[in-house]
Structure 1
Amino acid sequence: MDGDSVDNIVHTSEAIPMVAKALYPDEKFATTPKNMMCALDETLYSIDRHKWVRYPEPSDGDQQESAMAAYLNEFTRACWIFHTGKGRPLPEHVLRWTVTNSARTALNGEVVQALGIALVDARVTALQWTDVLCDIQIVSHVDRMPEAVRRLISGAANVFSSQEDRMYHTGIAFAGDTFQFVYFDRAGCIMSGILDTHADCIFLARVLMGLTILDSSYCGKDTSVVSRDGHRFVIVGGQEYQIAETLSISRDIRGRGTVCWRCRRPGSEMDFVIKNIWADVRQHPSEGDFLRKASNIHGISQLVCEEVIPWPGGELRTTFWLRDYLEGEMRYDIADRIPHLEQRRLVLEPYGRPLEEFASKDELLFAIRDAICAHQILYERENVLHCDISDNNIVLCEQAGASRRQGLLIDLDCAALVEMKKEYRLGPIGRKAGTLPFMACDILQHPRHAAHALWHDLESFLYVLMLTCASYAGPSNMPRKDLNVRTSLIGPWFIGDGDYKARIMYSYDDPAFRNFVDEVFHPYFDDLKGLVCELRTVIMREWNTRPTHTAVLDVFDRHIGALHSASKDVSAAPEAADGVDAVDEHQPHRGAKRKRRDAHEPLPAESSGGDARTIPSPARRRAGASSDSHTSDDSERTLVNSRQASEKTKGASDAPSFPMWEREPLTGRLVRSSKRRKVDHVDETGNSDR
Structure 2
Amino acid sequence: MEDSQLGYDPSVLVYPFSIGRMDFKKDMHSVSEGQSGITAESKIERFVLVKKIFHRAVICGRATVCWKAHRLDEDGKELMDKAYIIKDSWRSTLRDYTEGDLLKKATIALKDTVNSRVTKYYYHEDVTIFPISDPAVYQQSQGSKIVDDTFECIRKKLFLSLDDNGRVDSEFHANNPAGNPDCEIHEPLQSCSIGSTSSAVNVNNIPLKKPEYRIHTRLVTSTYGKPIYYFNDHLELLVAFRDAIKGHRNLYQIARILHRDISLYNILIGDDGRGFIIDLDYAIDTGSCQEKNKVQGHRTGTLPFMAIDILLQQSAHGFQHDLESFFYVLCWICCEFEGPCGTPRDKGCERKNLIAWATGLPENIGFMKLGMMQQFDYVMDTFSPYFKSFHHFMRKLHKMMFTAGRIKHDISYEKILKVFQDEIKRRDDENLPTNFGDLGIGT
2:137 maps to 1:302: no
Q: Mark the CA change 1:216 to 1:323 in structure 2 (over 3 Å): closer, same or farther.
A: same
Name 2:178's counterpart in structure 1.
none
**Equivalents in 1 of 2:367, 2:126: separation in Å?**
45
**Is the CA contact 1:385–1:427 (under 8 Å) kept in the aligned structure 2?**
no
Asked if residue 249 in structure 1 is aligned to residue 61 in structure 2, the reply is no
Residue pairs, 1:530-569, within 5 angstroms: 530-541=392-403, 545-565=409-429, 567-568=430-431
Match of 2:67, as an amino acid? Answer: W
Deviations 1:530-557 (A, max 9, x none): 2222222332217773311111111112
Aligned to 1:228, what secondary structure does the other structure show? coil
- Aligned match for 1:513, one of 376, 379, 397: 376
Q: What residue is the counterpart of 1:341 in the other structure?
A: 214
Residue number in structure 2 paired with 1:441: 308
Deviation of 1:274 (Å): 0.5
Q: Distance in 1 between matches of 2:387 and 2:92?
A: 41
Match runs of 1:378-397 below 5 Å: 378-397=251-270
CA distance in 2, matches of 1:501, 1:219: 41
Once residues 466 and 540 of structure 1 are traced to their aligned partners in structure 2, the CA distance between those partners, rounded to angstroms, is 14
Deviation at 1:246, TM superposition (A): 0.5
Give CA deviations for 1:287-334 in whole Å, capped at 9, x if unaligned.
Answer: 011101210351111111112211324112432334382259986653
Task: Give the number of the structure whose alpha-carbon radius of gyration is greater.
Answer: 1
Match of 1:430 in 2: 297
The match for 1:523 is 385
**Residue-pair matches, total:** 345
Indicate the residue corresponding to 2:204 in structure 1. none
* TM-fit CA distance, 1:450: 3.3
CA contact (8 A) 2:261 2:282 kept: yes
Superposition pairs of residues 48-447 of structure 1, within 5 angstroms: 212=1, 215-231=2-18, 232-236=20-24, 237=28, 238-266=44-72, 267-269=78-80, 270-295=82-107, 296=111, 298-313=116-131, 314-321=145-152, 322-323=156-157, 325-326=184-185, 333-337=192-196, 338-399=211-272, 405-418=273-286, 428-446=295-313
| Cα contact 1:323–1:331 (8 A) shared by 2 | no
Compare relative contact order (CA 8 Å, sep 6+) and give the higher one, 1 or 2: 1
For the residue of structure 1 that corresponds to 2:317, the secondary structure is: strand
Q: How far did residue 438 of structure 1 move? A: 0.8
Cα separation, 1, equivalents of 2:362 and 2:349? 20
2:318 and 2:13 map into 1 onto residues whose CA distance is: 43
Is the Cα–Cα contact under 8 Å of residues 444 and 496 in structure 1 kept in the other structure?
A: no
- Aligned equivalents of 1:437, 1:506: Cα separation in 2: 13
- Inter-partner Cα distance in structure 2 for 1:222 and 1:302: 26
Runs (5+) with no aligned partner, structure 2: 29-43, 73-77, 132-144, 159-183, 197-210, 436-443
Which blocks of at least 5 consecutive residues in structure 1 are unaligned?
Answer: 1-211, 400-404, 572-583, 587-690
**SS of residue in 2 equivalent to 1:520:** coil
Instruction: Write the distance in 2 (CA, Å) between the matches of 1:277 and 1:416.
Output: 18
**What amino acid sits opposite 1:235 in the alignment?**
D
8 Å Cα contact 1:418/1:427 also seen in 2: no
Aligned equivalents of 2:79 and 2:260: distance in 1?
Answer: 34
Structure 1 pair 228–341 and aligned structure 2 pair: CA distance change class (3 A): same
Q: Secondary structure at the match of 1:529?
A: helix
2:89 aligned partner, one-letter code: I
Change in 2 beyond 3 A, CA 1:518/1:308: closer
Q: What is the rounded CA distance, in whole Å, between the counterparts of 1:345 and 1:585 in structure 2?
A: 38
Deviation at 1:413, TM superposition (A): 0.8
Secondary structure, aligned partner of 2:381: helix
Residue aligning to 1:146: none
Q: Among 317, 320, 330, which residue is 1:452 paired with?
A: 317
Q: Is the 8 A contact 1:504 1:513 kept in 2?
A: no
Find the residue that maps to 1:275 and give its secondary structure: strand
**Distance in structure 2 (CA, Å) of the matches to 1:460 and 1:468:** 12
Indicate how the Cα distance of structure 1 residues 220 and 374 shifts in structure 2: closer, same or farther if over 3 A, else same.
Answer: same
What SS does structure 2 have at the residue aligned with 1:293? helix
Q: C-alpha separation between the residues in 2 aligned to 1:223 and 1:469?
A: 42
Q: State the 1:388 CA deviation.
A: 0.7
How far apart are residue 217 of structure 1 and its match? 1.8
Amino acid at match of 1:288: G
Q: Could you say what secondary structure the match of 2:90 adopts?
A: strand
Aligned-partner SS, 1:305: strand
Give the conservation status (yes or no) of the 8 Å contact 2:94–2:194.
no
Q: Relative to structure 1, is the Cα distance of residues 495 and 481 closer, same or farther in structure 2, using a 3 angstrom cutoff?
A: same
Q: Which amino acid aligns with 1:375?
A: H
Secondary structure at 1:473's aligned position in 2? coil
